Amino acid sequence: MKTILVVDDERGTRESVRMILKDSYDVRIVSSGQEALDALGGDAVDLVILDLLMPTVDGLSVLTEIKKRSRAAVVILTAIKKLKVAIEAMKLGAADYLVKPFDPEELQLIVQRIIKSRLKDDELDYLRQEIAKNFPIEKIVAESQAMKEILQQVRRLTAATSTVLVTGESGTGKELIARAVHRYSMRSHMPFITVHSAAIPEGILESELFGHEKGAFTGAIRSRRGMFELADGGTLFLDEISEMSLSLQAKILRALQEKEFTKVGGEKSMKVDVRLIAASNRDLRELVREGRFREDLFFRLSVIPIHIPPLREREQDIQPLAEYSLGQFCLELHCPPKELSPDALAVLKNYTWPGNVRELRNVLERSVAMHRETQILLPGHFSLDWSEKTVSAAIPLQEEDGVSQFEKAEQELNRRLILDALEKTGWNQTEAANKLKITRRRLKYRMDTLGIVPKLGRGRPRILHHPL
C-alpha cells in the first residue's frame, strides 16, 4: 500500500484528507514542516500533500527541502487563489496543487494519477536495474570460434530493430544472447521483458502477454497490463515460442505486423513499439511442416536467425566456463577458492552435457556446496553420468610396464574413490573404510598399493605411483 504524508497546521484539513484517502492508502498526518522533514527520514513516503501557509517554516521552503531529500511527489494545498503561487510551487517541483476548500473527488483523482505515474516509473527503474544487473555481455565465455562469431553478429545488430530468432538446445544460453542483442541495441535504456512460454499455462498466457480488462474472466477483479505493454519501446523476449497454440501465434503475428493489440476482454486497440526476440529449442521448420507452427509467423520471426551450438561441440568453452563458474560459486557460498585437477577437467571436457551450460553450472555449484573445504576438485566430486567416453578420456589406458589397460583403469578408479572418501571424512581412515564398505585393514592395504600416503596436518597427501 502506498504511503501518503499530509502536512497541514489545521487539524480539520488534516483529518478531512485522511478520511478521504484512508481506504486506499496508508495516510500519515503531521502538523508542521519540521515534522514532515523528520518523517521523510524514516519509512518511504510516496506522496506528500503539503499546505503552503504554515507557521515557523512555510510550505515552499519545505517543498524545496523535500525535493532534496526524497523522491516523493508533492501536491500543494493552498487557500491563496493566486495563480503565481501555484506556478512558483510547480517550478520548485510540485506535481500538482489544490485550492482550499477542495472537492474530495478532485483530490482522489489527483492522487490516483500521481500514484499510477509513480508505479510506472518504479517499474521502469526496476527493469533497467535488472538489465544492468543481470546482463553480463563482457562475461560471456567465447573461446570457441562458434561463440566468437555469434558475439560478432550480436555487435553488428546495434542499429537493427528486426526480429531475432535464437535457436539451440536447452541450457545453451539463448536468453543470455537475447539480452546481449538488447544491450547492444538502441533500445538498451528501455525495458527487457522475458516471457517463458512453456512455464505459463495456456489458459492465462494470452492475458500475460496482452493484459486484460476488469471482468474479462473469473478472477479479473481489476485491469492489468500485459508484457507487450510493459515492453513498449524496449524488447520482448519470448522463450520457447514453439509451445504456444496456433491461435495465440496468430495474435502475436498481428501484434508484430500491425504494432497493436487488444487486451483480453477489451475492444480498443493499443499501439506498441516492441522489438521481439524469440527462442526455441525445437526445429521450427519441422513444426511448420507438421502444421504445429504458423509458417507466416516463422518467417516473421527469423529475419535474423542465431543458432547456438551445444556445449559438446564447443570444447574450447568448457574450461573457461568451468573456471569462471567455480570462482562465482565459491564467492556466493563463501568457500575457499577451488581448482580443477587435470583428471577432473578431462572428465568435464569429454562429458556429453545433455543439459549444456546450465548442467555444467549445476554440477559445479553442487560440487562446491558439497565439498566446501576441498581445494582441488577430483572426478569423484562430480555427480555425472559416467559414459565410456568420459572415463576413457580421463583415465590413461595405454599399456606400459606390462600392466594391462583394464588393470590401469581399475587402479586409477580405486585411487579416486579412496581419495574421495578420505577427503569427505577428513582423512579419518576408519570412517573412510566404513564409507567404502570395506575394512580398515583392506583400505590401508589399498592405500599402500596405490602409493597414497596419509595426510598430515594441513598438508596435502603425497601419492606415490607404484605399479601393480
Closest C-alpha among 376, 367, 360 to residue 333: 367
Q: What is the pLDDT of residue 223?
A: 79
In whole numbers, what is the pLDDT of the chain averaged over residues?
A: 84
Q: What is the pLDDT of residue 202?
A: 79
Give the helix, strand, coil percentages of the chain, each rounded to 5: 50, 15, 35
Nearby residues of 55 by Cβ (< 8 Å), 6 or more positions away: 9, 32
Torsions phi, psi for 407 (to 5 deg): -65, -40
- Assess whether pLDDT exceeds 50 at residue 114: yes
Q: Name residue 266's amino acid.
A: G
How many other β-carbons are positioned within 10 Å of the β-carbon of residue 376? 15
Q: What is the pLDDT of residue 462?
A: 47
Q: Stretch 443-466: mean pLDDT, rounded?
A: 65
Name the most confidently modeled range: 80-94, 290-304, 359-373, 390-404: 290-304
- Assess whether pLDDT exceeds 90 at residue 313: yes
**Least confident among 230-239, 308-317, 441-450:** 441-450
| Rounded CA separation 227/231 (Å) | 6
Using pLDDT thresholds of 50, 70 and 90, give the confidence band for residue 385: low
Using pLDDT thresholds of 50, 70 and 90, give the confidence band for residue 289: very high
Inter-CA distances, 138 with 54, 176, 179, Å: 55, 11, 12
Using pLDDT thresholds of 50, 70 and 90, give the confidence band for residue 268: confident
pLDDT tens-digit readout, 325-342: 999 899 988 888 999 988
Pairing of the two strands 275-280 and 339-340 = unpaired
One DSSP character per residue, 372-405 reads TT-SEE-GGGS-----HHHHHHHS----BTTB-H
What is the share, in percent, of the chain residues with pLDDT greater than 90? 37
Inter-CA distances, 401 with 189, 407, 408, Å: 66, 12, 11
One DSSP character per residue, 284-319 reads HHHHHHTTSS-HHHHHHHTTEEEEPPPGGG-HHHHH
Closest C-alpha among 362, 363, 357 to residue 176: 357
pLDDT tens-digit readout, 326-384: 998 999 888 889 999 888 898 898 888 999 999 999 999 999 998 888 889 988 888 87
Using pLDDT thresholds of 50, 70 and 90, give the confidence band for residue 419: confident
Q: Which three cell numbers stand for residue 380?
A: 569423484
| Domains delineated in the chain | 3-123 (3.40.50.2300), 135-307 (3.40.50.300), 316-450 (1.10.8.60)
Q: What is the pLDDT of residue 460?
A: 47
| Rounded CA separation 438/429 (Å) | 11
Cα 407 → chain centroid: 48
Using pLDDT thresholds of 50, 70 and 90, give the confidence band for residue 1: low
Instruction: Please give the order of strands across the beta sheet that includes 235-239.
Output: 192-196, 235-239, 275-280, 164-167, 304-307
